[in-house]
Structure 1
């Protein structure tokens, strides 16, 4: 592909994402937190509007139990599946080795396509190669922007986590922040590390990294509280997920700290917190869109040979800021579980 084609791909990618956003009018099924066991989505849903033959798509993520972010991803994926006459099978495990086994299960089941997150890409390399060898198309979403092409994926849908972190760092500068603690809830997750690294790159003050056990709300709260109690100079807590942000608000209160909380990612409760002023702002990567585009892209590839982004560029779904100036509009969709 020549340079002019690459340029066209970069211009078209956002257009693809905007066009697919119209699918928000489609109904998505409700979701529960993921686990090691695969779950078929939409068993009671409509067969969909597409007249193309029924196909099966496996969506395999690194969701940790209780992380509501992935409920939004699944709603987007299910909306696309309902439209495209796709049987969607969802499975998840935060352990990279177990997630790789789930991808292998999908290969063994001879699915028609796989959408996968690459939070720990090295652990996924071999099994993605097996899917490719089995002639099963694989696309990436959410995590893995730096690695999707190296692993041979067809397409990728998500945000550049480094760019998102840099944007948040600049926002902190404009807010007058001086000392920030960036809370990482999963060690080894490439995307989370890139977020904090991006903050450090552009933030002119002091940035410290704090690791917490994201699978234990009690441990998260106690660790953040202890840090804020020990260091009263911290004026901002940056979290990397909505559930962690809401816990951080409690920690600020318990520690008697004056720190403000900013975060990546949204859910219904977080938009309420922004409206009330207990959380300053959030960086939104539009997880519904990531799930929708991942499933829809596999349907398009199978039925029309299409590559979103031309197979050369990722389709970016973020970052965008949500704060008091625009949260009311976003909250309408968050209440439906789609933002």
Structure 2
């Protein structure tokens, strides 16, 4: 069954991909360079660095990484994955990749200003850079070749419209990292189409603190009838917060993992906005191989959208088996 598309979905180039099989085991892979075994292409061996703003423990990035590893395996690429949630440290990782003369770099731009110098250094050495997941409004001015992800603001607008359709009266939108451009765009979009939305900032690196902060907010304001989170682990925590507070607030979220799929099936979470992180990781790596081996650039100067789409009880079975395999 096709996933529900958000009404305000912005069109982009559509690609048909032949995905290779990947591990059915969940969780992180063993080390930084998996998926770099023998490929199925006959192009020379390449080295690609992928540098993200992953917060350790956030299962979203397991899906990104599995997609990247699948593409790396197919394309005979040595994948060097690294991450740091602090923007200056992430920029240092990009600079290290530049200094080690990798063939290409895939990077997230959650805090673009901090990344500009390192991205410019890559350009000075003719190392192609693509962006994915975060930085929809920043990648092109920075000279990045391609972008793969969803438009956070459009996705948020779709969420706000859904809240209205469901008869919500007051919502909180929970941001787990202040200053992250995509997260803030999502909540801004929610507020645009559902003005009765309050932004709640939490410390996403401390899940007990997230739980207590949401609990306190729900206790303070019993009029809140919807909690919107921006990641699957935070949605599951919000479920516990609502129970702690004795609140009947419903939970909706961005992004999925296997536990979140079960929560939708069980009714604890109403829906999730899917941006297909496996696909983001896959396209980021595969696009660099295409550029390096054949001069191809995807998207015609526009972002290639991997979402958004709603997943709820009406279509959850379409992705449940993939979620069990750790790729949705």
TM-score class normalised by the smaller sequence: over 0.9
Change (3 A) 1:182 1:117: same
Q: Does 1:289 align with 2:279?
A: yes
Match of 1:255 in 2: 245
Match of 2:227 in 1: 237
Q: Does 1:277 align with 2:267?
A: yes
Change (3 A) 1:86 1:31: farther
Match of 1:5 in 2: none
What per-residue deviation string (whole Å, max 9, x for no partner) do you get for residues 181-222 of structure 1?
000000110000000000000115x11111111011100000
The aligned runs of 1:122-271 (5 Å cut-off) are 122-204=113-195, 206-271=196-261
The aligned runs of 1:14-163 (5 Å cut-off) are 14-16=13-15, 19-20=16-17, 22-23=18-19, 25-28=20-23, 39-42=32-35, 46-163=37-154
How many angstroms apart in 2 are the aligned matches of 1:125 and 1:288? 26
Change (3 A) 1:168 1:199: same
Where does structure 1 lack aligned partners over 5 or more consecutive residues? 1-9
Question: TM-score by structure 1 length?
Answer: 0.91
1:28/1:78 contact within 8 Å kept = no
Change (3 A) 1:324 1:32: closer
Q: What SS class does the counterpart of residue 309 from structure 1 fall into?
A: coil
1:169/1:201 contact within 8 Å kept = yes
Question: TM-score by structure 2 length?
Answer: 0.94
What per-residue deviation string (whole Å, max 9, x for no partner) do you get for residues 29-82 of structure 1?
867669xxx822236xx4010100000000000000101100000000000000
Q: CA deviation at 1:256?
A: 0.1
Match of 1:323 in 2: 312
Q: CA deviation at 1:15?
A: 1.9
Q: What SS class does the counterpart of residue 148 from structure 1 fall into?
A: coil
Answer 1 or 2: which has greater helix percent: 1
Aligned residues: 318
How many angstroms apart in 2 are the aligned matches of 1:178 and 1:197? 17
Q: What SS class does the counterpart of residue 326 from structure 1 fall into?
A: coil
1:68/1:243 contact within 8 Å kept = yes
How many angstroms apart in 2 are the aligned matches of 1:247 and 1:33? 21
Q: Does 1:304 align with 2:294?
A: yes
How many angstroms apart in 1 are the aligned matches of 2:267 and 2:57? 25
